[in-house]
């Protein structure tokens, strides 16, 4: 897995970020979602390297092998703004002052924040299986609350830690044949660590509080994505079913947005790596 890639732990202030990187050419930063690690990209990253890109795959703060400070009462220590700052520092440490950006699921929320807060470093952005958190929350229906109930369960103090850590293997299902054995083993090690579980929950707690407030402040101030933006969503997931055309929502956030559904389940980097890599390479190619 990740043959030819280097592995590093890069200190960025109060956090230390585990990162894999390899290849030559224009840099691409790949951000995973919940409850995965950077290993979720193990099928996509080599294809992008073969297409002439440098690929950087970090574990988000608190996920996988990345470590940050203890959670704070206001959840700001695990906010998308702070995590985005980690990643700008990681890319600077690796010598990349500008880069292409990909975010999936929770990594998509981080990618949005990174592109809004640091437009000078993002050349193009691809957002996968995600909407702005505030857009989800402004559209809450019984169907959304039923299908995405975990957002609100994760926000409860203390209870989800006790439930998940009692049997993380049962809670975090994963098929090694579908994921790839090494990816699955890394995912299983991460989700079996109570510190990782707590950090992942803080990601969601921040989402419902400080992240939502940060997004709403940007909308009120007219802050938008100025870079070309690609939006892809998995047809086997429920984004389109819940909201109709995701592009209609993203047009309120981005000046130049395009995209479409892709034939995949939610974990697109594992389920449809060739199709995804081809879409990203075509969008990112100089």
Q: What residues pair up with 261 in beta bridges, in sequence order?
A: 233
- Are 40 and 107 in contact by the 8 Å Cβ rule? The answer is no
**Alpha carbons within 13 A on the beta-carbon side of 131:** 21
Decide: helix, strand or coil at residue 220. Answer: helix
CB-neighbour burial class of residue 216 (10 A; exposed 0-12, middle 13-18, buried 19+): middle
C-alpha to C-alpha distance for 117 and 107, rounded to whole angstroms: 15
Q: How many residues are present in the chain?
A: 286
Asked about 105 being catalytic, the answer comes back as: yes
For 140-174, letters b (16+ CB in 10 Å) and e give eeeebeeeeeebeebbeeeebeeebeeebeeebeb
Locate tokens 């807060």: which residue? 117
Active-site residue, selected from the candidate residues 118, 185, 245, 266: 266
**Measured between alpha carbons, how far is residue 211 from residues 19, 74, 75, 202 in Å?**
24, 11, 9, 11
Could you give the dihedral angle defined by the CA atoms of residues 117, 122, 123 and 126, in that order, rounded to the nearest 10 degrees?
Answer: -90
Task: Give the number of other CB atoms < 10 A from CB of residue 219.
Answer: 14
Active-site residue, selected from the candidate residues 51, 86, 105, 237: 105
Question: Could you tell me whether strands 15-22 and 6-12 are parallel, antiparallel, or unpaired per DSSP bridges?
Answer: antiparallel
For residue 16, how far is the Cα from the chain centroid? Answer: 17
Asked about 175 being catalytic, the answer comes back as: no
* Residues with a known catalytic role: 105, 266
């Amino acid at each position: 897995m990740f043959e030819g890639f280097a592995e590093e732990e890069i200190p960025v202030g109060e956090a230390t970020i585990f990162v894999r990187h390899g290849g030559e050419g224009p840099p691409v930063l790949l951000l995973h979602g919940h409850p995965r690690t950077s290993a979720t990209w193990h099928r996509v990253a080599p294809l992008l390297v073969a297409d002439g890109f440098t690929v950087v795959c970090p574990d988000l703060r608190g996920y996988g092998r990345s470590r940050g400070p203890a959670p704070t009462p206001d959840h700001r220590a695990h906010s998308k703004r702070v995590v985005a700052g980690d990643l700008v520092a990681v890319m600077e440490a690796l010598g990349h002052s500008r880069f292409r950006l990909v975010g999936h699921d929770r990594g998509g929320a981080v990618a949005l924040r990174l592109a809004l807060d640091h437009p000078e470093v993002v050349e193009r952005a691809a957002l996968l299986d995600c909407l702005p958190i505030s857009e989800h929350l402004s559209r809450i229906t019984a169907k959304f609350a039923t299908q995405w109930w975990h957002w609100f369960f994760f926000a409860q103090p203390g209870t989800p830690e006790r439930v998940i850590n009692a049997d993380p293997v049962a809670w975090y299902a994963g098929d090694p044949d579908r994921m790839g054995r090494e990816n699955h083993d890394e995912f299983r090690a991460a989700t079996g660590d109570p510190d990782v579980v707590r950090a992942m929950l803080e990601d969601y707690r921040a989402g419902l509080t400080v992240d939502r407030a940060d997004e709403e402040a940007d909308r009120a101030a007219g802050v938008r994505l100025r870079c070309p933006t690609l939006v892809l969503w998995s047809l086997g997931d429920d984004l389109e079913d819940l909201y109709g055309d995701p592009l209609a929502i993203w047009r309120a956030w981005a000046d130049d947005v395009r995209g479409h559904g892709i034939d995949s389940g939610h974990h697109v980097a594992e389920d449809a790596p060739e199709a995804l890599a081809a879409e990203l390479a075509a969008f990112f190619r100089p």
